């Protein structure tokens, strides 16, 4: 893994990153690019460099000054230079440095309106997110070579606070990449039993882990989760992680993450194309695990519970069927009309469990509805909530993480979509109408009066094409947002 260091000088034999800004058709750099001859930029333009935001270019300046190689990083408009831009620039630097095999890269960040600490944190976060590769099952060695070291050029007096910023940025990226590893793992290698074992490894440092197996789930009345599991050869589990701070907690939070380790659709079988990425249907659980992976080190003054229902959704002679009625842990009955709307069923039991803990707030994160992609495309996570204050807090956290969200209404009149003639609820609404909102309204039936936010990550948990901060595959979305939300609520104990 690339290490990050701080210094006030560098070896000109090593590449130097220089940030290029754009104003109209004009390209320029500011005073942070010390001793860079103006002719360098003109030479780069003549060789095809256009300064497109997020772009990069390598140039060798005359006489090797200020360094033998310069990595030009296109930063866009000077007035828009904020942490999200630095995060993108970090990811761009990672890719370009890897492409040409740089061992060391010196970076002098340009001046910006915000604190240098936040900008370095974002650059480190972006660099490590952009460096991520999932290579566990490759039979031949990876030819990708990341730099051994990034050296930030800063005055000595700033190093203490900047060291902390580097550590924070690295932690955000590390937890996201931890979630990505879980999601990218082949589904036969991450059964409910295996994911439960992963959860057990998070115990310690004020974290306790309890795993409820099939017999206990039945005693607790979790027949919605058990119903979804009936077609699987692997028994289900519900994981309860609990972090308790050393002193009196400021508040109690429950995080609930959907953990369908593979979703075939059950008897309402998906088309083969729709199954290709269904190993990602436990992305909500992965985000919750990732948060606890970080809590071990940060130890905020907040009591945090993590609840993840784990099962496959498979077709089998014993599988649950359209027309079945399942009873959830809070006693409500559900008519199943589509076995591919299974996520809300397992969450019904998990949210009921969370509500029984009497937390101050609940946040659930789930790959719930394909309709979220229809409504918002691939850029936004859909948010629904019964509480405006919580919504604003999550919105602020997502803005800091660069993970976009958009709030959809829990329209009361749409509740009639869930009316069943034979049970309290049915698990789908009218075909082609407000599918994501109907999913949110269904989940709302299981949180009681607890302030609650639902994050539907069906559109954002997986990308079929590489982005600057993620290769094709799992994105680890919402892990960083949830952690920033927790730190804003409870601070860090360390």
Known catalytic residues are 270, 344
Residue 244: partners with Cβ closer than 8 Å, 6 or more residues away? 206, 208, 303
Q: What angle do CA 468, 374, 454 make, to 5 degrees?
A: 80
How far apart are alpha carbons 446 and 96 in whole angstroms?
48
- How distant is the alpha carbon of residue 139 from its chain centre? 28
- The answer to whether residues 230 and 218 touch, using CB atoms and an 8 Å cutoff, is no
Give, to the nearest 10 degrees, the angle between helix 283-298 and helix 192-200.
10
Residue 211: partners with Cβ closer than 8 Å, 6 or more residues away? 196, 199, 200, 237, 238, 239, 240
| DSSP strand pairing (325-327 vs 333-335) | antiparallel
Handedness of CA 376, 378, 384, 389 (dihedral sign): negative
Give the ranges where 100-157 is alpha helix by DSSP (H). 116-131
Long-range contacts of 210-213 (CB under 8 A, 24+ apart): 210/239, 210/240, 210/242, 211/237, 211/238, 211/239, 211/240, 212/237, 212/238, 212/239, 212/240, 213/237
How far apart are alpha carbons 467 and 157 in whole angstroms?
36
How far apart are alpha carbons 135 and 352 in whole angstroms?
38
How far apart are alpha carbons 281 and 304 in whole angstroms?
23
User: From edge to edge, which strands make up the β-sheet containing 333-335?
Assistant: 325-327, 333-335, 425-426
How far CA 341 is from CA of 480, 487, 491, in Å, comes to 27, 33, 37
Q: What angle do CA 310, 180, 488 make, to 5 degrees?
A: 90
How far CA 301 is from CA of 60, 249, 477, 482, in Å, comes to 51, 5, 24, 15
How far CA 282 is from CA of 164, 261, 385, in Å, comes to 32, 5, 21
Both structure tokens of 224: 């919605």
How far apart are alpha carbons 236 and 185 in whole angstroms?
18
Number of Cβ within 10 Å of residue 306's Cβ equals 27
Q: Which residues pair with 454 in a beta bridge?
A: 364, 384
């Amino acid at each position: 893994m690339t290490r990050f260091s701080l210094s006030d000088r560098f070896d000109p034999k090593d590449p130097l990153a220089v940030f290029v800004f754009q104003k109209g058709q004009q390209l320029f750099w500011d005073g942070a690019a010390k001793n860079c001859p103006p002719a360098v930029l003109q030479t780069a333009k003549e060789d095809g460099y256009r300064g497109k935001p997020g772009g990069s270019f390598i140039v060798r300046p005359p006489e090797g000054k200020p360094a033998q190689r310069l990595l030009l990083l296109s930063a866009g408009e000077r007035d828009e230079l904020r942490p999200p831009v630095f995060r993108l620039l970090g990811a761009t630097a990672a890719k370009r440095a890897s492409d040409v095999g740089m061992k060391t890269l010196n970076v002098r960040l340009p001046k910006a309106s915000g604190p240098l600490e936040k900008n370095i944190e974002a650059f480190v976060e972006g660099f490590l997110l952009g460096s991520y590769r999932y290579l566990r099952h490759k039979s031949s060695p990876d030819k990708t070579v990341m730099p051994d070291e990034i050296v930030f050029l800063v005055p000595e007096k700033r190093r203490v606070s900047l060291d902390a910023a580097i550590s924070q940025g690295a932690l955000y990226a590390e937890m996201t990449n931890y979630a990505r590893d879980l999601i990218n793992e082949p589904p036969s290698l991450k059964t409910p039993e295996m994911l439960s074992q992963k959860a057990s490894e998070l115990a310690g440092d004020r974290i306790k882990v309890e795993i409820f197996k099939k017999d206990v789930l039945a005693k607790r009345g979790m027949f919605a989760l058990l119903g979804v599991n009936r077609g699987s050869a692997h028994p289900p589990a519900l994981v309860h992680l609990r972090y308790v701070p050393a002193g009196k907690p400021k508040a109690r939070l429950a995080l609930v993450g959907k953990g369908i380790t593979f979703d075939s659709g059950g008897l309402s079988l998906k088309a083969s194309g729709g199954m290709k990425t269904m190993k990602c249907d436990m992305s909500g659980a992965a985000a919750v695990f990732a948060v606890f992976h970080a809590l071990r080190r940060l130890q905020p003054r907040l009591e945090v519970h993590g609840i993840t229902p784990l099962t496959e959704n498979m077709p089998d002679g014993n599988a649950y069927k359209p027309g079945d009625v399942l009873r959830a842990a809070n006693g409500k009955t559900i008519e199943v009309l589509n076995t591919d709307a299974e996520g809300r069923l397992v969450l019904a039991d998990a949210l009921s469990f969370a509500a029984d803990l009497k937390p101050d707030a609940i946040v659930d994160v789930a790959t719930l509805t394909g309709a979220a992609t229809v409504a918002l495309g691939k850029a936004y996570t859909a948010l629904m909530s019964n509480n405006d204050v919580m919504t604003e807090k999550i919105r602020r956290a997502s803005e800091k993480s660069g993970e976009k969200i958009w709030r959809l209404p829990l329209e009361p009149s749409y509740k009639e979509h869930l009316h069943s003639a034979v049970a309290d609820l049915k698990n789908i609404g009218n075909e082609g109408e407000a599918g994501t909102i109907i999913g949110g309204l269904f989940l709302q039936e299981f949180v009681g009066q607890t302030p609650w936010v639902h994050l539907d990550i069906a559109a954002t948990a997986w990308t079929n094409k590489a982005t600057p901060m993620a290769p094709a595959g799992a994105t680890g979305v919402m892990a960083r947002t949830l952690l920033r939300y927790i730190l804003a609520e409870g601070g860090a104990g360390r």
